[in-house]
Structure 1
Amino acid sequence: MTKQFSLAHLTALGCTPPEMTYLAARAGYDFVSLRPIYMGLPDEPNYALAENKQMLRQTKAALRETGVKLLDIELARISNDIDPKKYVPAMEVAAELGGRHVLSSIWTNDRNCYIERFAELCELAKPFGLTIELEFVPIASVTNLAGALNVLRTVKQQNAGLMIDIHHFHRSGDKVEDLDAVPREWFRYLHLCDAPAEIPTSKEEMTKILREARLYVGEGGIDIASIVNRIPEIPYSIELPHDKRAQELGYEEHARRCLQSAKDYFEVHSLKQQIR
């Protein structure tokens, strides 16, 4: 089966959704993963397509003209102070653009709160034909595979799934064998990148790497093959923010190298499998 790749918005966050769609097409991607939920982070561009109708029309035209598909949108954070209904306009946009999934993660330690709100988010997504993919993040509240699986098994929502980020999986210290216990239908796509093998001891350093200094696939020290071998064949969304390289190379060349390094890695790994 031919592997399919998506360009995640964090890899080229300076590009608007229509710009990134055209860029992804030129670089050879099958999908884009957009960020139309504005989170108000420092220096974060506002791509709230539900509020910017002109940009929404331009994005729709870019998808139509290029044939690139929308894989997912992000990020529907679960926290004490965000009502999940806030994400409905972004879900409407995702459905209008042909998207499949909504990425979510949990940023409150109040278990009753996050179980209730994650379940509500899943219910809100159902009329749009969208799935909610839970990502565990080592700097958030649900930080590892066990925590994410506990949420999914508690809410028991048919449209809920698990989104593995290669960086976060490695940083969380999870074991690849534990992926065998995950229902296969919970895997719908994953985030692909690389990073140094050494796990930072400080939250600040971990945050810096995950937000602005991830590495091309095969360039770091994560045993990526051991992780993807435990997961069904699903699209790979390359989330690889690297501020310095993006500035030096430009977003398009950076995105192209992200994709080529991934393809090269999988080609070599495939050869290794055949040799075995």
Structure 2
Amino acid sequence: MSRPYSLAHLTVMELTPPAMIQAAAQAGYQGCGLRLLPFSPGGTAYLMNDPALMRETLACLRDTGLCIPDVEIIRIQGPLDVRPYLPFFEAGQKLGARHILVTGEDPDLARLTDSFARLCEACQPYGLTADMEFMPWMAANCIQTTRKIIEDAGQDNGGILVDPIHFLRSASTLDDLRQLPAGMIHYAQICDAPAQGPTDTAGLVQASRHARLLPGEGDIPLKDMMRCYAPDLTISIEIPNTRRRSEAGTLAWITQCLEASKRFAGPAGPAST
């Protein structure tokens, strides 16, 4: 069985959504994940306050046949008011997105769990899941902790997002991944990294945003990880590498990313709708 591949926005963050969609279509992807909200104040994000760009993006989707599996990013850093995110949910729905990337950063795990539950409830009417990506420097720092948050939140549209570089750097194991309920994984990411990496937060963040490797170049057990996923699960290719992309050019780099990913996750299939 074949699976759809989506290009994560972090791989080509400075490309506008129409430019990204066109490049992804040319390289052979079935979808793109789009960042609609910035990771930090003043950070790069698109579409939320630009109706003309939204129209152009929707036209590009119609012309290319690509889909938008996921939109980013909601960071739960403390008490969460879901009301300011309603326009974000509406934009995701307009784009046909199915998943929201969420980070769990509030050190009060009981409050984080409650916030995640309310976020799931708020986005569910828009046809969206909320998928918490664990990162080793956050409160949701591994599979086990994140699974507990999701299960305690008790929402059917709550899920866990596994990024291989964070899997490698966290206290997560293949057994933890194998034991996740199938319905808890709505989509997954792919990349590679060396076994020996940074141990401080600044180094972890730098490597994750600028120096990921193509699948097969590092030490992550990607084939074992991919066996844990449904054969038609969407794989988001998140492989930012500033130096190598600059040397190769954007189209060549994202094509290399796709071809390397297929060797570990299986042949590409039609876009999921």
TM-score range, shorter chain: over 0.9
Aligned equivalents of 1:102, 1:244: Cα separation in 2: 29
Quick one: distance in 2 between partners of 1:39 and 1:171? Answer: 21
TM norm structure 1: 0.92
Residues 162-213 of structure 1: CA distance to partner in whole angstroms, max 9, x if unpaired? 1111111111131101223211111111010001111422222211110110
Which residue number in structure 2 is paired with residue 93 of structure 1?
A: 91
CA RMSD between the two structures: 1.7
Deviations 1:197-249 (A, max 9, x none): 11422222211110110000111111111111122221110011111122222
Q: Moved runs in structure 1, 4+ residues, more than 4 A?
A: none
Q: Could you say which residue in structure 2 is the equivalent of 1:115?
A: 113
SS at match of 1:69: coil
Aligned residues: 266
For the residues of structure 1 that align with 2:35 and 2:177, how far apart are their CA atoms? 27
Match of 1:260 in 2: 259
The residue type paired with residue 212 of structure 2 is: R
Tell me the CA shift for residue 100 of structure 1: 0.7
Code of the aligned partner of 1:236: I
Cα pair 2:109 2:149 within 8 Å, conserved = no
Task: Determine if the alignment matches structure 1 residue 3 to structure 2 residue 3.
Answer: yes
Mean Cα deviation higher: 259-268 or 152-161: 259-268
5+ residue gaps, structure 2:
268-273
Query: What residue in structure 1 maps to residue 205 of structure 2?
Result: 207
Q: 1:165 aligns with which of 163, 166, 176?
A: 163
Distance 2:8 2:121 in 1: 25
What whole-Å deviation, never above 9, does each CA across 1:126-151 have from its counterpart, x for those lacking one? 11011111111112221001110110
Rounded Cα–Cα distance in structure 2 between residues aligned with 1:251 and 1:197 = 27
CA contact (8 A) 1:37 1:87 kept: no
Separation in 2 of the partners of 1:110 and 1:226?
Answer: 33
Letter in 1 for 2:253: H
Extract unaligned runs of 5+ from structure 1.
Answer: 269-276
Alpha-carbon deviation of 1:40? 3.3
Alignment partner of 1:72 out of 70, 73, 76: 70
Distance in structure 2 (CA, Å) of the matches to 1:266 and 1:91: 30
Contact 1:136 1:164 (C-alpha < 8 Å) held by counterparts = yes
Give the structure 1 partner of residue 19 of structure 2: 19
Structure 1 CA distance for aligned equivalents of residues 156 and 263 of structure 2:
35
- The residue that corresponds to 1:135 in the other structure is 133
Q: Output the CA distance in 1 between the equivalents of 2:80 and 2:254.
A: 32
What is aligned with 1:53? 51
- Larger RCO (CA within 8 A; separation ≥ 6): 2
Moved more, 258-267 or 162-171: 258-267
For residues 162 and 45 of structure 1, what CA distance do their matches in structure 2 show? 24
Aligned equivalents of 1:76, 1:183: Cα separation in 2: 23
**Quick one: percent identity of the two aligned structures?**
34
Taking structure 2 as the reference length, the TM-score comes to 0.92
